[in-house]
Chains A and B, each alone.
Chain A
Amino acid sequence: MIEQRREISLIGPAQLQLRQAAPSAVETPLQRTWRRFRRHKPAIISLIFICIISLMGIFAPIVAPKDPLKTSLIDSLVPPNETYWLGTDPVGRDVWSRTVYAIRVSLSVGIVAMSISLIIALLLGTISGYYGGMVDMVVMRMTDIIMTIPSLVIIMAVVSVLGPSIYNVMAVIGILGWTGMARLLRAQILSVRERDFIKAARSIGVADWRIMLLHILPNAVAPVLVAATFGVAAAILTEAALSFLGFGVLPPTTSWATCSMPRAR
């Protein structure tokens, strides 16, 4: 610390400027990721699309001024026109409003369920991959069990017992959805664990949790994040299937599934 200060006091203004310029030349991993991301056109288009959808969900009352729950039997099954942009359903509710409000439900199911899965996967995958041996054996057999059960059937059973509600659906999808990611992460960690810089960290006495969290995870997490993005989509589709069968979102709340169903629920 003292040495550093002395160094700074020794350098002149010109050198100081150079120093300040340096941080932007050496980019942080986050900056690097963003730079690469920006160059990828489909990724940018998708990001913009997701942002628009999310904003529409957040500002739903502005984007869709009509009440999504207000029925009006005179206007039932109206084809799209200036007042009802996407027409109305059999009980005269505005389909556009229902679709926009459904963004809130469907996106939050996808994101919350996936966050639950991701947390479980990160925890179990890291511990299993890092410690190996008996711990690994137990965690992986547990993963095998959950992986082989037909999850939709179990989710339906659990929801029918606990009662259909959006929170139960999120929780159950999340709790059953981590297996693939945990396996992926474990496999990644097994290879990262053997690298020299981990040995170096261990040899200077870095604590286990610190190695796992700061040294291994950042180098192993990339494929898991890719899997997680697919997981969001899968969770939305699972919720759709559940709601379709009557085990998910309860009417009159709408998710994208209940929007696309032919009968008014």
Chain B
Amino acid sequence: MGQYILRRLILIPILLLGITAIDFAFINMAPGDPVTAMIDPAEMRLMTQADIARRRQALGLDQPVAVRYVIWLKEVVTGNLGHSYVKAQPVSRLMIDGIKNTILLMSLSLVFTTVVGVALGIISALKPYSWLDYTLTALSFSGVAMPSFFFALILIFIGALKLGWFPTSGLLTPGMPFSLSDRLSHMALPLIALSIGGTASLLRYTRSSMLEILQEEYITTARAKGLSKRAINVRHAFKNAALPIITILGLQIPNLFGGAVIIETIFSIPGIGSTMVEAMNNSDYPVMMGGILLSGITVLFSNLLADAAYALADPRIAMSGE
């Protein structure tokens, strides 16, 4: 078990290297010259080509891409992600401000997805082909088919504009001291909007996984032994049905991050996602690189967590890994 996780941990930096190298190359293919972009046009009129070349050299931008990537990497290891072209702030500052909100939103959404998706999936599977099952199936299909931004707009329209129960955007009411209830009411709509797709697909997977397990012969045996329905469903059926569910949850984390980008933008939540959308609109490449690195780290570690949970739930995995 320990060895299994250790091996996965070793793989993470290698994967990060791959991701950042590809992105670095891509971003360097972008049209436009950062050197001339950084110089004030009025000042540039007084400069010669040699001046610009000197400036380029001072910034290290005359080096080939591979060399620049290594330099960037060296700085990243020491914790320096560079400065934003647009905002007068270091990238690390922007990232630290953003990641707190993003992780809060993502982890709450993961909990919501797991609890609601699994619970509804089990209910669906225990009473298959009932009206309740059909209703949940219909709901989950519409949840999967609807783009999350559209669902978010509907939520804002109903929950914030028509009913007036929730605020439309942000994370706190301006001018008010921090309070839990205020934060929760701000988080409610984004949380539901972010979770709906994952919940719907998890419901489907849980349902089919449970249905399959309930057909197994050892369930019949347990019934014949006279075990209570509860004991069968929880201890015998769900425990085994949980394995594919954990895999699905792990695979959903990258999607969740993509969802967070959209939801943060719609609800104006200051997170990594909205920071990155802004940076991309402004061609703010250092911020983009920082965001990609950080989102990669977040996703890789949550995948590791899912794998560890999987290995814990199924002893066979850890065995085969050793």
Contacts and interface: CB of A to CB of B under 8 A. Distances in A.
Given A147-B254, A152-B257, A241-B149, A160 B15 contact: no
A200 interface: no
Given A157-B23, A157-B280, A240-B147, A151 B18 contact: no
Interface string A140-168: 00001101111111101110111000000
Contacts of A148: 15, 254, 296, 299-300, 303
B257 A262 contact: no
Interface string B1-27: 000000000010001001100010011
Q: Which of A150, A237, A240, A247 has the most CB of B within 10 A?
A: A150
A154 B280 CA distance: 11
Given A152-B261, A153-B292, A156-B276, 20 more contacts: A145-B18, A147-B251, A149-B254, A149-B299, A150-B257, A150-B258, A150-B296, A152-B258, A153-B257, A153-B258, A154-B292, A157-B23, A157-B27, A157-B288, A160-B280, A160-B283, A161-B30, A241-B148, A241-B258, A241-B262
Contacts of A262: 153
A42 B258 CA distance: 32
Contacts of B277: 156, 245
A191 interface: no
B147 A237 contact: yes
Interface residues of B, number: 37
Interface residues of A, number: 27
A153 B293 CA distance: 11
A78 interface: no
A205 B41 CA distance: 71
Contact of A153 (B149, B283, B295): B295
Interface in B226-256: 251, 254-255
B298 to A, nearest CB: 8
Interface string B134-154: 000000000001011110010
B195 interface: no
Q: Which of B251, B265, B280 has the most CB of A within 10 A?
A: B280
A244 B261 contact: no
Q: Which of A147, A153, A154, A156 has the most CB of B within 10 A?
A: A153
Contacts of A162: 29
Nearest to B197: A237
A233 B265 contact: no
B281 interface: yes
Contact of A246 (B150, B281, B299): B281
B291 interface: yes
B254 A151 contact: yes
Contacts of A260: 147, 150
23 contacts: A145-B15, A145-B18, A145-B19, A147-B254, A148-B296, A148-B303, A149-B296, A150-B295, A152-B258, A152-B261, A153-B257, A153-B291, A154-B292, A157-B26, A160-B283, A161-B30, A240-B147, A240-B150, A241-B147, A241-B258, A245-B261, A245-B265, A245-B277
Interface in A157-201: 157-158, 160-162
A147 B145 CA distance: 22
A244 B147 contact: yes
A257 B262 contact: no
Nearest to A230: B144
B185 to A, nearest CB: 23
Contacts of B145: 233
A160 B29 CA distance: 11
Nearest to B257: A150
B292 to A, nearest CB: 6
Interface in A196-255: 233, 237, 240-241, 244-247
A144 B23 CA distance: 16
A241 B147 CA distance: 7
Nearest to A155: B258
B297 to A, nearest CB: 10
